[in-house]
Structure 1
Amino acid sequence: MKYYLIAGERSGDFHAASLMQELRQQDPEAEFRFWGGDLMQAEGGEMVRHYQEMAIMGFWEAATSVLKFRGYLKQAQRDLLAWQPDVVILVDYAGFNMRVAKFAKEAGLKVFYYISPKIWAWNQGRVHQVKKVVDRMFVILPFEQEFYQRFDYKVDYIGNPIADTVGEHQKADDFYQRNHLDPERPIIAVLPGSRKQEIEEMLYEMLAILPPFLNYQFIVAGVDNLERNYYAHFERNNVRVLFDQTYDLLAHATAALVTSGTATLETALFRVPQVVCYRTSAVSYAIGKAVIKVPFISLVNLIAGKEVVKELIQGDFNSRNLVIELKKITADEDFIAKQKAGYAEIWQKLGQQKSSKKAAALMVGYLREPKTA
């Protein structure tokens, strides 16, 4: 069968690549065409456009890129009609993918959504549009199943692929030696995000707090979708940048500063005490604050249903607060124990279910179901 996938971000590339691998196990004749990244490309098929060209952060930034997105949308529409896939599989990235879903459905194509758009966070009324244009929804957060049930929409909860990946990770014993790190000083992991605009907002502030923590070494998780020399001006005696080693970094870290996103959950599943950080433009923040309907921004707190990790957002994200909170997660044993107890609850909620394999089996099964008149 022919599978057309669209992932507009780095995390979507990761999840979609795992799904493609499992789809090929279920369907050896699988053909792939996609919008995504290097990980998807490694699984085979033909890439239409790389997600790096589509990475925009914030409501205002997205609004000012309307013409560019409109051009991408028209390209996707033409390409879908020309290729005529058996199914369109959309991976998160709601602003673009919901428009693709509407077009694909009207064109008579089957539409699956893998990793729900975060409509539970803002504009929950969009669930009615989802019901109209998405044939099957596959969700990875336990509370999403409950959310959709409130609107009488049946979805498939397939477990969380991050929990699977973290659970399968093998800690590298040569991490310090391989990266020429000081084995006597504990590590503070710094995860500033994966988009250049995001990193510029976050990393300078995250590294402005070094003097009180000279007994630690700060290790920044660099991403390979940016030029390596971009990070060069952040490196100094107490700061290193490592690429493509985020899980090994978290496996050895004592604490972490993490930009809100998927990385907050990864950090929690590695049981690393963390402070969640987020800042965007003033206009985007004002818009977001007006429309977001959930009490937290981190996946950790959303899944737990309570504050497990401290979130420093917008004006609260400053060096003074960072120092206060980082001292708590490196020196306050009671605070650390409480946070790790919250992490244990999240592990229990998510479990390990081999989600990509489960999703692929369900998708192929649905596609092979006999059509009813």
Structure 2
Amino acid sequence: MDGYTQGDAASQTNWLSVNCDLGDLVPWLGLLTDSKPTILVLAGETSGDLHAAKVVAELRVRNPNVRFLGMGGPKMKAQGVELFAELGTLAIMGFSEVIARMCYFLSLRRKVLALIHSESPDLVILVDYPGFNLTIAKAAHERGCPVLYYIPPKVWAWNERRARTLATVADAVASIHPFEVDLLKEHGVNVEYVGHPLLDRADSIPSRGESFRAWGLDPERPLLGILPGSRIQEVERHLKPFIESARAVVDRRPGVQVLISQAPGLEDSHFRDLEFSVVRETPSLLRWSDCVLTKSGTSTLETALEGTPLVIAHQVSWLSGVLARLLLRTRYIGLPNLVTHQEVVPEVLQGEVRPEVIAPLLLELIDESSPVRIEQIQNLDRVTRLLGEAGASSRVADMAMTLLERHS
């Protein structure tokens, strides 16, 4: 999973203000006063870094004495996590890309296993990144370390056998997709639906006028937002056809303005000498764009939650594409479509990722009077309602505290 938005501290529930019996709090009192546990947190992608950082922040409220070790990115680091591996070397995608970097991941795995052996963490929190994290879960379980898996492998999409593995190596699983809970339970997984962390998104986004002034744009003219990806491989595959599609839109509607999002952790060198401006304020871009073109991933749901019409376009390597066609069990890849079980957002895949296919879809959605745009906005509102209430990070922190007490 990739990610762009920042969390909203105001929407995070302070655990002391939750209505509960005193008996519910007693088991945690020792952890709050005397214990100085060590928690290992592993996240391998931008979105995982964001979600892990929110959980770390919630845990620090509950026990300021916790020592956090992990792999992740700048948001985890900002929360005081002692990182031994950072996102720049971790973020890849696709089967062929994983094979190409197998030696690196084997070396990293040995490093994590050595750390588990030397530190004997009181809890291991794994965030998404299943190809790597499942092997760590097995090793931690064998070592006797409790394991909390947040954002489990997408067994509803492919490789259902991973659910059986998860049942044997994870003490608890925190799910963010309501449609996967029953399947995981069928395989014996101790799973709890915690809600989607993107529902805790920031409300401190500047107004449309302020944002457009900062970008040097006209707020009276429509804006097309471009999200090519949060990984280097994604940007390399998507940036060129996305820019070509945006150019085709501007050729047809000269008043349209275009901005390209540069995700955290990506170097400026990947975005030099482009015909459209590049910004890092992706939350503002998602909220104030009149339409968004994005690759598949977390950004599709982030955009949907803002109620901004979007088109999903995605391509991977030839080998990854072939394997995906053979292994994937779902009709859709976009999260808004998976949540609603229907194509509420158009998906353009592999060889179809071309301006002649994408531009007409964008032109229809950027037109305020278009029935297609109006219908999609209504469906995006339904996506938000189906995801439930905010507070995922707080619920995951509660699960972590329970595991810490149980194994103390």
Deviation at 1:64, TM superposition (A): 2.1
1:57–1:370 Cα change, 3 Å: closer
Report the Cα distance in structure 1 between the residues aligned to 2:177 and 2:39, rounded to whole angstroms: 24
Other structure's SS at 2:330 match: coil
Deviation at 1:109, TM superposition (A): 1.1
Matching residue of 2:40:
4
Q: What pairs with 1:173-322 in structure 2 (closer than 5 Å)?
A: 173-209=209-245, 210=247, 211-234=251-274, 236=275, 239-243=276-280, 245-322=281-358
Other structure's SS at 1:4 match: strand
Q: Does 1:333 align with 2:373?
A: no
Structure 1: give runs of 5+ residues left out of the alignment. none
Deviation at 1:148, TM superposition (A): 1.2
Structure 2: give runs of 5+ residues left out of the alignment. 1-36
2:293–2:313 contact (8 Å) kept in structure 1? yes
2:173–2:189 contact (8 Å) kept in structure 1? no
Instruction: Report sequence identity in percent.
Output: 32
Letter in 2 for 1:123: N
Deviation at 1:25, TM superposition (A): 0.9
2:225–2:259 contact (8 Å) kept in structure 1? yes
| CA deviation map 1:302-328 (0-9, x unaligned) | 111111100000012111111121122
Q: How many positions carry a matched residue from both structures?
A: 366
Report the Cα distance in structure 2 between the residues aligned to 1:312 and 1:241, rounded to whole angstroms: 23
Q: Does 1:18 align with 2:50?
A: no
Matching residue of 1:164:
200
Q: What pairs with 1:12-91 in structure 2 (closer than 5 Å)?
A: 12-91=48-127
Q: Does 1:364 align with 2:382?
A: no
Letter in 2 for 1:361: D
Other structure's SS at 1:25 match: helix
1:171–1:251 contact (8 Å) kept in structure 2? no
2:50–2:76 contact (8 Å) kept in structure 1? yes
- Misfit runs of 4+, over 4 Å: none
Report the Cα distance in structure 1 between the residues aligned to 2:253 and 2:259, rounded to whole angstroms: 13
Deviation at 1:334, TM superposition (A): 1.1
- Give the TM-score normalised by the residue count of structure 1: 0.95
| CA deviation map 1:207-235 (0-9, x unaligned) | 1131223211111011231222431222x
1:169–1:247 contact (8 Å) kept in structure 2? no
2:92–2:232 contact (8 Å) kept in structure 1? no
Deviation at 1:169, TM superposition (A): 4.5
Q: What pairs with 1:69-148 in structure 2 (closer than 5 Å)?
A: 69-148=105-184
Report the Cα distance in structure 1 between the residues aligned to 2:387 and 2:141, rounded to whole angstroms: 32
**Structural RMSD (CA):** 1.4
**Residue 382 of structure 2 is aligned with which of 315, 320, 345?**
345
Report the Cα distance in structure 2 between the residues aligned to 1:157 and 1:283, rounded to whole angstroms: 34
Q: Greater shift after overlay, 83-92 or 118-127?
A: 118-127
Letter in 2 for 1:212: R
2:164–2:188 contact (8 Å) kept in structure 1? no
- Compare relative contact order (CA 8 Å, sep 6+) and give the higher one, 1 or 2: 2
Other structure's SS at 1:144 match: helix
Letter in 1 for 2:256: Y
| CA deviation map 1:58-95 (0-9, x unaligned) | 11111222111111111110011111110110000000
